[in-house]
Structure 1
Amino acid sequence: MTNQRTKKLTLAAMMTAILIVLGFFPGIPLGFIPVPIIIQNLGILLAIELLGTKYSFLSIGLFLVLALFGLPVLSGGRGGFAVFLGPTGGYLLGWLLVPFVLGTVLHILKQQQRLSWWLEFIIVVVAGVLFIDLIGSIWLSVQSHMPIGTALISNLAFLPGDIIKAGLAVFIARRLRKLPSLQTIF
């Protein structure tokens, strides 16, 4: 059991490193909303897909602690406490909370062996992408003094890219879970 835990912790640390690397890609500003399009949320979804609730929470939590302490690990080299209070703070909070929602639903369906590719994809979009966007929109509304409806509608700009990232996360995770050397871990 200790060996399995060590492997999971190692994978969690590796996912944290992948999240940091994905932060090297700068965000794409939209202009009408103070939140850019980024690729790091692909890593968030992938971490949950591969690590489950507990270890993805540890990985994402460690990543966010590094950002909180000022390390430039967020997209475009951002970091520090001010980022968590800015327009993107709700999305960061959503990243921390989504392992509990998405990880739990995926775990239940994997236990029942009812997880087809399409069902997994839909769950990642609904319990992952839309959950993060909802938390982000609520915070954006409060922080920017924007009506909640406007914040929710402005998030529609992220959906096409987020759906592609969700599909990539499902595809990559399913491929990695099939590797014989990783099957004992996942």
Structure 2
Amino acid sequence: MEGVDNPRARRLMFSGRDMAQIAVFAALIAALGLPGAITVGFSGVPITLQTLGVILAGAVLGARKGTAAVAVFLALTIIGLPLLSGGRTGLTALAGPSAGYLIGWIPAAFVIGALTARILPKYPIVLGLLVNALGGIAVIYLFGTVGLLLRTDLGVRAAITTNGAFIPGDLAKVVAATVVAKGVHRAYPGVIGA
């Protein structure tokens, strides 16, 4: 980062440590796809553990690095790597009913990261739960519902109610991510700002 006089350009650059953290979280999202997926209901959208990785990326790394980790992961799937649960690629997923959910991962990580930065350094559990639920559930469901409307013959009500099958698992992911993020921010207080 030496030699860059423009502070705005400096903020857009990533240090070696930043890139390592981004790579680790992109790999975490990929690893959380290994257990596979469960498709419930008639929407064709699978339940996976990978959204846990998306929530963690935002909650631990912050908006900039967390969003970058999700973007790196999605870029790898779009170029053809079968990193999505069930060995799917990004091109396959983007052509199907789960496209909106997948696209929603990027703004979800950003929202979680931006709001997490506001509740630091203490990272209160209740606020952490709210932040992770807003980004990890509300934002992803919003994009997912729009994707269902565009990719399927579902009406608005059916597309919205389809999300009901995901709520219990996603609430568990929010709780797990919040507990992990609280521990990380207690042990490494500057990880988002670093």
In structure 2, the residue matched to 1:134 is 142
Residue 185, structure 1, aligned to residue 191, structure 2: yes
2:190, 2:138 → 1: CA distance? Answer: 31
- Aligned mate of 1:157, from 165, 171, 179: 165
Match of 2:82 among 67, 72, 79: 72
- Read off the aligned partner of 2:155 and give its amino acid letter: P
1:90 corresponding residue in structure 2: 100
Say if 1:7 and 1:185, in contact at 8 Å, map to a contact too.
Answer: no
2:55, 2:135 within 8 Å by CA — same for their partners in 1? no
Please give the per-residue CA displacement for 1:6-63, whole angstroms capped at 9, x wherever unaligned. 2222111101111111111111111322111110000000010111011111110010
Distance 1:110 1:13 in 2: 23
Contact 1:8 1:185 in 2 (8 A): no
CA RMSD of aligned residues (A): 1.8
- 1:70-121 Cα offsets, whole Å, 9 max, x none, are 100001110042321211110111001212322222222326x5x4101210
Confirm or deny: 8 A CA contact 2:129 2:178 kept in the other structure.
yes
Show the counterpart of 2:57: 47
1:10 to 17, 20, 26: 20
Distance 1:178 1:123 in 2: 17
Which residue identity lines up with residue 17 of structure 1 in the other structure? A
Q: Which residue of 1 aligns with 2:180?
A: 172
Say yes or no: does 1:31 pair with 2:48: no
> Which consecutive residues of structure 2, in runs of 5 or more, have no partner in the other structure?
3-13
Residue-by-residue CA offset, 1:97-150 (whole Å, 9 max, x unaligned): 212322222222326x5x410121022112321110111011111110211211
Gaps of 5+ in 1: none
Percent identity over the alignment is 31
C-alpha displacement at 1:184, in angstroms?
4.0
One-letter amino acid matched to 2:153 = H
Please give the TM-score of this superposition, normalised by the length of structure 2: 0.86
